[in-house]
Every structure is written in C-alpha cells, then in structure tokens.
Amino acid sequence: MLCFAWGLANSSFSMVSSTSDIDVTDAQTGSRRHHKRAKRSLRFSTSLTESFSQTLLSAESVGVDTPCPSHENIQGQKLIASLMSMTSRDRMKAIRNQPRSMEEKRNLRKMVDKEKSKQPHGTLELSCCAQCLNSISLAYRRPRSGLSELLDSVSLWQKTLKVIGGKFGTSVLSYFNFLRWLLKFNIFSFIVTFSFIIIPQLTVAERNTLRFTGLEFLTGAGYFTDTVMYYGFYTNSTIRHRIGGTSYHMQLAYIFTIGTCLVICLFSLLFSMARYFRNNFINPHIYSRGITKLIFCWDFTVTHERAVKLKQKNLSTEIRENLSEIRQENVKLTLNQRLTRLSAHLAAWVVSTGVAVACCVAVYYLAGNNSEFLESHRNPGAVLLLPFVVSCINLAVPRFYSAFRLVERYETPRQEVYMLLIRNIFLKISIIGILCYYWLNIVALAGESCWETLIGQEIYRLLLMDFVFSLADSFLGEFLRRIIGMHFIKSLGLQEFDIARNVLELIYAQTLVWIGTFFCPLLPFIQMITLFIMFYVKNISLMMNFQPPSKAWRASQMMTFFILLLFFPSFTGVLCTLAITIWRLKPSADCGPFRGLPFFIHSIYSWIDTLSTRPSYLWVVWIYQNLIGSVHFFFILTLIVLIITYLYWQITEGRKIMIRLLHEQIINEGKDKMFLIEKLTKLQDAEKRANPSSYALERRDVEQPSPFHAWGHDAAHDLRFRQSVQEGNPQA
C-alpha cells in the first residue's frame, strides 16, 4: 500500500513540476499570459492532489493489502472502488460503456457485487424503498437481457448480411434487409391464421376423396381444392366437440383473424415507417453522414480475426460511400446540360408510361377473355396462360426500364433507383388493379358455385409463376449475363445488382399475399417458403454474377422508401379491395364459412345484435358503434396521423437548418483559431529573437534531466512556481 502511494505521489509531483516549468518559462514573455497559465496550472495541480487523495481513500476502502501492486492492479482497484460508490443503474451504464469484451464485463460486475456484499449493512445508505426498487429493477433487467441475447442468437442471416454489406455496400444490403423484414411479416401472419383458422377447421375436417396427381403444385386446383388451403373448404357452423363444451364460431373467427392480421400489419407498417423516418431523416448524425462514427470509433469487443477484417471492410465501404456522395453533391451542371437531361427524362417518362399503358391494356383484354378461353380449352394447363403472360410482363418491362439509365444519366444513383421504383410500382400496381377488377366484377358475378376458391387459385398461380420466373432469372438470366460479359463481350463486364427491380418483385408478391389471404389462408406460409428460398438464391447469384456498384452511395434512407411503397399504394389498395369484397359482394351459397349470408359483413351485424341483448357485453357494442363503425372516428384518426406527419416534417426541416448553422459556426471558429495561431506564432518568433538565451536554457533543462534528483528538483520547481504565482497574483 505504501509503495502504491509513493509511486503515485512521484508521478503526480513530476507532472505538476513539468507543468510549472513550462508555465514559468512562458510567464517571462508577458504578464497577462503568465497569470492565465499560472492559474490553469494551479487548478490542475489542485485537482490532481484531490484525485490522489480520493484514490488513496478508495484503495483503503477496497482493502488492498498487497505491498506493491502492479499498475494494472491499481487501475482495476480504482475502477472497482469508483463503481462501488455508484448507484445500481449508473454502475450498469458505466460497465456497459467500458471498452471490454462481454466476458470481461460480466467478470467485472461479479467482482463489484462481491466487494459490495462484503461491506457491512450499516454502510449501505439505502432505504427499504430504494432496496426494493433496485431488486425489482434487477429482476426485470435479467429476463430482458436474456431475451435480448436469445433474439440476437436466433436472428436470421446476421453474418451473411454483414458480408453482403461489406462487399457490396448498404445499397444492395437494403434489399436483403427488406426481404428479411417481409419474411418476419409472413411468419407472424401464418402463425395467426394457422392458430385461429386452420387448426379449428382441421379438427372437424372430413377425408379428402380427390386423387393427387402432382399437377396441383402448378395449377393449385384438383386435390388442393378440398383442403384447408382455400376458402371453400371451411365450415359455417359452430364448432363444439362435446355437449356443454366451449363453442367456436367459425364465421367470426375467420373474419376477425383476417381483420386482426391486416390491422396489425397496418400498425406495423406505420411504426416501421416512423422508426426508419426518425433514424434516417430526423437524427442529426444523418446530416453529418456519421463521419465521427466511421473515423474515430472502433468496436473493441471485436477480437476475432475474420470479424475484424469484415469490420474493416464495412468501414472502408461506408467511407467510400460518404466520399462519393460528397463529390456528387459538388458537381455543378451548365444550363445546356440541364436542358439536355430534362429532355431525356421527359422522353423516358413518355416512353415508360406508354409501355405501361400498353401492358395494362393487354392484361385487361386477356383477363376479360380468359373465361371463354378456359371453356374452349379443357387442358388443365390452360389456366396458366394468364399468370404466364403477367409474369413475362413483370420480368421484361422492368429490364427495359433499367436500360433508360444509359440515356437519362441521373446525378446520383439514389435518384435513379427512386425513378425506377416509381415506374415499376406504377406498372405492377396497375396490373394488380386490373386483375382485382376482373376477379370482383367478372369472376365473382359469373354465377360460379364457389367463386372465392377460384380467386384463391388464380392468386396462387400468379404467386407461384412469379416465383418460378424469379428463380429462372437468377439461375439462367444472370448467369448467362455473367458468361457473356466475362468471355464473349468483355467490355460489358459484370453487371450491377438492380435494386429497384428486385424490390418491386417483393412488393408485388406481398401485395398478392395480402389480397389472397382472405381466399387462401395458407398463402402466408407459401410466401414464407418462397422468401426463404429467394434469400439464398439471390445471395448465391449476387456473389457469383454481380460486381459492387461502380458509384458508391449510402442507402440509409432506402428502407423508409421501400416501406412507404409497401404501405401506399400496395397495402392501401389491398384494404380497398377487401373492403369492397366484404361490404359489396355476396358470398357463395354452397361453400365457405359465410354461405347463406347476403354480404360478408352481415356476420358482424348479427353478432353485434346478439351482444346488444346481453347487458354484460354492452361495452363491446358501444366500441363498435362509436369507434369501429363510426366515420367520425376514422376522420379524427386520419387527422391525428396527418398532424403527426406534419410535425415530423417540421422537425426534420428544423434539424437540417440547425446542422447547417452548426457547420457554419464550426467553419468560423476554425478561421478564428487559425488567426489566433498566426498571431501567437508571430509573437513567439519575436520573443525568441529578443531573448535567445532563455530558450536555450529551457531546451537544455528539458533535454538533460537529472535522474538522481528528480523528485527534489520537481518539488523545488513546484514551490518556486507557487511562490511566483502568489507574488504575481495575491488573490490566487
């Protein structure tokens, strides 16, 4: 203990003496600067003396008995002593912020808890209420940390996403993040529908007498028609397995389960948009591009060699993206160049709009004549004509749109991706709108025995055909493009990953799933399988057939735009389609849980009428009449959402102005510092020329210190320094 105190005293006195020597030497150049530096050195020596005394006290409180501990032990004892004096919450934050691995942090926490338990209970100045709160907080924190570690351990494709981000940048990574986000969506929808619709129906399902041929995987008809896959198989009766047991109303379960899935998807989309909008548009570090995080921060918990190399590659990619954006923002175009680009953009928009209108007209006439075509062709494969044509359009036209980049030449890759997304979403949503018109106005009113099942089969075929075309494009199209670019036409080289086209394929498929869940409850499960396969297919194709983007750019805001497109017009269009189905169409009379009703919504009306006769359920009736069935409630809710959106927008604009003003302030302060440094340099040069002997003496004292009289020399200098300060400034 004495050795520890003596070593720390020597280091403290040597630091003070060296500081005082420098300040005393500088004090000879001017009285004002002498007083300022003397006061600063005096404050430094006082604070160092106080920290030295606190360190001795903390070391004594820990109970260090070693005669001369090492420097690491001293630092560890000081850290433990400082942590013991903190509250429970502050101690956890301090341990969490330590640049150590998780194992070292756990050991440090155990050591602090052990030393804390050795103290007598009389020294703990915590009341009974505080101890109770600390125990409750600890009991809550442990399960939460365990759940967080569990979720992190089961997180899908975490390592694969890091590899993709390190090699191809955040722009390509945004597609795979969006795919994983949609996969979680469909997993949740499948769990809900399977729990509340499919399992109850399986308990009362009859044996399927149809023969399975294998063609059902393509057509969706035949054997699958008489299974839980489609709407027509579900019963409209109340399920009760024993007399006097609990009843399960299938009509209410079906409509409430689908409605609950859509409502939760709605709130999830709104929450995700708000979260990504806050992180990518409102936070100030976005406007500074995170330069501080990239250059001055390193995760010291990364110790594995491969993880370190991957982290280095990610950082280099992010720095390259930031520098590329800064360079692109500084590009200035002349008036002729702007007019040329504007003309090219207008021509591209005219051509793309004309192509989209022509495709929509073709799909409309093909869908209108599809019934006559199926009647004249009894081949089971004839039902694949409409899905085949639609998939061909969705595959060929977006590639044609991507060729416009050779003419338009946008200033930034982000603008190019945005324009491609808008054109593709206009094409795909228009095609889905025409198909919905065909289903709800031709198929539903054609007098078929079970038109809901027919619509479910159509959507299943569209979804399956789109998946087959995506696989063929990845395995054949992208592979052949790599062969051509590497061996035959080497000037082409490897292609770049088309983010807009691939993202719109996901949005198109997810829109079909949301529409078809009402007619085919197993569609979320099918989409879950297809997304899982597509991730690995796209990952393999990306690594083999693509090169990193030639123009690096940050895509931190792309997820917000993807979810916005998924919400509008995709999800809003789905809500309109299902609202027309439930409120305006008559269910089939021979199949499905709503058979015999004039409209689907009448199942809710009859349930509310039943509850109105029971006094204990009048609150449910009031909620339905005043909230769910009230137009004013949804008007007020929409108004609140618009107000919140406006406030977020204003916050964003305010943050932009604040960041710009801070940048200007930093630039002005830098200019002021340069001016002061120049003045100081000139003054020092003048003083050197006036007193060359004093600077030579100071240089000799600094270069040749005495090793045998270091402590006495430092102490003498410290005393002379304090005496000079007191003589020059009596108030000090």
Question: pLDDT grade, residue 623 (50/70/90)?
Answer: confident
- Is residue 66 over pLDDT 50? no
CB atoms under 10 Å from CB of 1, counted, come to 15
- Is residue 543 over pLDDT 80? yes
What is the pLDDT, as a whole number, of residue 408?
84
Nearby residues of 248 by Cβ (< 8 Å), 6 or more positions away: 200, 238, 239, 240
Question: pLDDT grade, residue 728 (50/70/90)?
Answer: very low
CB atoms under 10 Å from CB of 618, counted, come to 12
DSSP letters for 573-623: HHHHHHHHHHHHPPPPSSSSTTTT-SSTTHHHHHHHHHHHT-GGGHHHHHH
Confirm if 695 and 688 have CB atoms less than 8 A apart: yes
Lowest mean pLDDT among 219-223, 617-621, 624-628: 624-628
In a domain, 252, yes or no: yes
In a domain, 103, yes or no: no
What is the pLDDT, as a whole number, of residue 508?
94
Pair of tokens at residue 199: 């399992």
Question: pLDDT grade, residue 107 (50/70/90)?
Answer: confident
In a domain, 637, yes or no: no
What is the rounded CA–CA span in Å between residue 397 and residue 31? 80
Mean pLDDT calculated for residue range 32-48? 41
DSSP state, residue 496:
E
What is the pLDDT, as a whole number, of residue 572?
92
What is the pLDDT, as a whole number, of residue 656?
77
Mean pLDDT calculated for residue range 362-377? 88
Pair of tokens at residue 500: 């807009």
- Is residue 352 over pLDDT 90? yes
At 476-523, the pLDDT tens digits run: 888 888 888 888 887 788 888 888 889 989 999 999 999 999 999 999
In a domain, 513, yes or no: yes
Confirm if 50 and 730 have CB atoms less than 8 A apart: no
Question: pLDDT grade, residue 436 (50/70/90)?
Answer: very high
In a domain, 335, yes or no: yes
Going from the C-alpha of 422 to that of each of 158, 178, 418, 429, 496, the distances in angstroms are: 30, 17, 6, 10, 20
What is the pLDDT, as a whole number, of residue 294?
58
DSSP letters for 675-717: HHHHHHHHHHHHHHHH-HHHHHHHHHHHHS--SSSHHHHHHHH
What is the rounded CA–CA span in Å between residue 499 and residue 538? 12
- List b or e across 262-277, with b for residues whose CB sees 16 or more CB atoms inside 10 angstroms: beebeeebeebbbebb
Q: Which has the higher per-residue pLDDT, 268 or 145?
A: 268
Pair of tokens at residue 14: 């040597």
Pair of tokens at residue 696: 């030579």
What is the pLDDT, as a whole number, of residue 328?
66
Pair of tokens at residue 591: 């199949």
What is the pLDDT, as a whole number, of residue 423?
92
Question: pLDDT grade, residue 579 (50/70/90)?
Answer: very high
What is the pLDDT, as a whole number, of residue 498?
86
In percent, how much of the chain has pLDDT > 70? 73
In a domain, 278, yes or no: yes
Mean pLDDT calculated for residue range 414-429? 88
What is the pLDDT, as a whole number, of residue 731?
42
Cα 433 to its chain centre, rounded Å, is: 30
What is the pLDDT, as a whole number, of residue 140?
64
Mean pLDDT calculated for residue range 445-469? 92
In percent, how much of the chain has pLDDT > 90? 30
Question: pLDDT grade, residue 56 (50/70/90)?
Answer: very low
What is the rounded CA–CA span in Å between residue 350 and residue 337? 20
Q: Which has the higher per-residue pLDDT, 451 or 169?
A: 451
Question: pLDDT grade, residue 244 (50/70/90)?
Answer: low
Nearest to 609 by CA among 599, 598, 620, 600: 620
Q: Which has the higher per-residue pLDDT, 302 or 57?
A: 302
Angle, CA 652 vertex, CA 646 and CA 656 arms, to 5°: 145
Read off the pTM.
Answer: 0.71
- Is residue 46 over pLDDT 60? no
Confirm if 546 and 263 have CB atoms less than 8 A apart: no
Pair of tokens at residue 209: 């007498």
- Is residue 732 over pLDDT 50? no
What is the pLDDT, as a whole number, of residue 290?
55
What is the pLDDT, as a whole number, of residue 355?
95
Q: Which has the higher per-residue pLDDT, 696 or 526?
A: 526
CB atoms under 10 Å from CB of 521, counted, come to 29
What is the pLDDT, as a whole number, of residue 47?
41
Q: Which domain holds residue 586?
A: 175-597
What is the pLDDT, as a whole number, of residue 481?
87
Number of domains in the chain: 1
DSSP state, residue 106:
H
- Is residue 45 over pLDDT 90? no
Mean pLDDT calculated for residue range 679-691? 86
- Is residue 202 over pLDDT 60? yes
- Is residue 573 over pLDDT 90? yes
CB atoms under 10 Å from CB of 2, counted, come to 8
In a domain, 112, yes or no: no
What is the rounded CA–CA span in Å between residue 674 and residue 677? 5
Confirm if 560 and 276 have CB atoms less than 8 A apart: yes
Mean pLDDT of the chain: 77
Query: Could you tell me the end-to-end alpha-carbon distance of the chain, in angstroms, rounded to an integer?
Result: 34
- Is residue 166 over pLDDT 60? yes
What is the pLDDT, as a whole number, of residue 287?
46
Phi, psi of 697 (to 5 degrees): -65, -40
What is the pLDDT, as a whole number, of residue 529?
95
Q: Which has the higher per-residue pLDDT, 177 or 319?
A: 177
What is the rounded CA–CA span in Å between residue 560 and residue 281? 9
In a domain, 8, yes or no: no
